[in-house]
Amino acid sequence: MAQPPFPAPELGEPYLLTPGPLTTSYEVKQAMLKDWGSWDDDFRAMTRDMRDRLLAMIGDGAETYDCVPIQGSGTYAVEAMLGTFVPKGGKVLVLANGAYGLRAAKTVEYLGRGLRLLDKGDYLPPRGDEVAAILAEDTGITHVLAIHCETSSGILNPIEEIAEATKAAGRTLLIDSMSAFGALPLDPLALNCAAFVSSANKCIEGVPGFGFVIVRKDVLAASKGNCHSLALDVYDQWATMEKTGQWRFTPPTHTVAAFIEALKMHEAEGGVDARGARYAKNRDVVVEGMRGLGFQTLLDDRWLSPIITTFFCPADPSFTFQGFYDAMKARGFIIYPGKLTVVDSFRIGCIGRMDHHVMTRVVVAAKEALADMGVASAEPPAAALEERNKLAA
C-alpha cells in the first residue's frame, strides 16, 4: 500500500519525538474545526463508529469484546479498568519494570485492592516462569496486570508468555497496552485477556482527551457495582452508552472527531502491521544513526520496542540534557527526558506522523547538537554500561 506523505508539521512547529501527545497529521487537526452537540444524533453516530472501528482492530475477538471510551488521559482508563474489573476483595499481581507499572501498583493501593508487586527495575522484563511461580505460591491473587510496552524505558514486554502463565494458573489478565495498541499486534482472544486499555494520543495518532477499555462482554456484565468511583465506572459508562448512545458526562467531542480521522488514516496506511513496520523502521534508523555517533541504548536489541528508545546521556562533562534539548528544539525536534531511576538518560519517540526520512534528520540534528555543546564523545559513563551488563546477564 502506498505510504501517505509525511509533511513537516504546519507553521514551522517542531516534531514531537515523544510518546504522546505526538505529531499528528494535518487531517487529524483539521477534523477539529467544527463543533458538535454531545446529545445530537450526529455525535452519537460518531461514538458508535469509533467503538466499531476499534473493535474491528482486534479481529476474531470483535464479537466477544466490547469497547468503552472513558474521558481523561490514559491513567484514568487504567484506573477505570482496575476499579471496575477487580472486585473489592480482589488482589492484583502488578508486573512492573518502569514508571507505568509502578503507577499501576500505586493505583491498586489507592483503590484498596490487594497488591502483589513484581518490580524488575528499569532494564528487565517480567518473565512467564516468574509469573507462574508467584501465582503458584500466592493463591490470593485474582488478577495479573501486565504493561505491554513500558514507555518509560521503551521495553517491549513478553506479553504472550505472561498471558500463558496467567491462563495456566486460572487467573484474570488485564493489560495496559497504552503505547502499543495500534502498532503492535494484540489479540485479546488468543491471550485470554479479560480487558485492556489504550488511549487516543498514542499509536493511533489522535490528540489527547480520552482512553478506551476493550473488555470481554461477560467480564463487563459481571462487573456491575464493583467500582469505587462514579466517573470511572466502566460498567455504568457502557450501560448508558448502550441505552442512549451517549457518554454519561461531557464527551471530548473534538478529540473524538480527530480520533475517527486518525482511525481512518490508520486503516488507509494498512492497519496495525503497516503502522508497526513504519515505527520499526523509524527506530532502526534512529538507533543505528545514534550508535554511529557513539550513543548507547539502555536496552539490548531484543527488548527494543518500535515505540520509544532510551539512550544513556554521554559521560562527557560538556553534555547536559537541557543543552541537548535546546539544541535539538532549535533544529525542529522535541525530545523527551529519561524516566530511569538510577542513571541519566533521554528518550526519542518513534511514533507519530513521521517516517524514516525524518529520523535521518534527527540523527543529523543530534550530531550538530553535540558539536554545538563541544561534546567530543557520546559514550555513556562506564558505570552505566557495567550496571546494564550486570543486570541483563
Ligand X SMILES: *Cc1c(COP(=O)(O)O)cnc(C)c1O
Q: How far is the CB of 213 from ligand X (least distance, A)?
A: 13
- Give, in order, the Cα–Cα distances in Å from 275 to each of 110, 200, 248, 335, 351: 36, 15, 32, 21, 9
Report residue 86: phi and psi, to 5°.
Answer: -95, 115
Query: Which residue, 93 or 149, has its beta carbon nearer to ligand X?
Result: 149
Q: Residues 158-187 vs ligand X: string with x where CB under 6 A? A: ------------------x-xx--------
Of 86, 147, 186, 260, the one binding ligand X by CB under 6 A: 147
The CA distance from 223 to 90, in Å, is: 12
Q: How far is the CB of 17 from ligand X (least distance, A)?
A: 15
Residue 389: what residue type?
N
Asked if residue 199 binds ligand X (CB under 6 A), the reply is yes
Measured in whole angstroms, the distance separating CA 208 from the mean position of its chain's CA atoms is 13
In the region spanning residues 17 to 46, those forming contacts with ligand X, defined by CB under 6 A, are 19-20
Contact 228, 112 (CB under 8 A): yes
Asked if residue 73 binds ligand X (CB under 6 A), the reply is yes
Query: Which residue, 147 or 213, has its beta carbon nearer to ligand X?
Result: 147
Q: How far is the CB of 73 from ligand X (least distance, A)?
A: 3
Contact 91, 113 (CB under 8 A): yes
Residues 6+ away with beta carbon under 8 Å from 357: 6
Residue 179: what residue type?
S
Query: Which residue, 23 or 179, has its beta carbon nearer to ligand X?
Result: 179
Q: How far is the CB of 198 from ligand X (least distance, A)?
A: 9
Report residue 150: phi and psi, to 5°.
Answer: -80, 100
* H or E segment to which residue 349 belongs: strand 345-349
Position with the least CB separation from ligand X: 74
Contact 337, 212 (CB under 8 A): no
Q: How far is the CB of 201 from ligand X (least distance, A)?
A: 7
Contact 95, 159 (CB under 8 A): no
Asked if residue 74 binds ligand X (CB under 6 A), the reply is yes
Of 14, 55, 64, 75, the one binding ligand X by CB under 6 A: 75
Of 23, 71, 97, 151, the one binding ligand X by CB under 6 A: 151
Query: Which residue, 177 or 296, has its beta carbon nearer to ligand X?
Result: 177
Measured in whole angstroms, the distance separating CA 95 from the mean position of its chain's CA atoms is 15
Q: Among 39-47, 67-75, 242-250, 374-382, which window interacts with ligand X (CB under 6 A)?
A: 67-75
Binding residues vs ligand X (CB under 6 A):
19-20, 73-75, 78, 100, 147, 151, 176, 178-179, 199
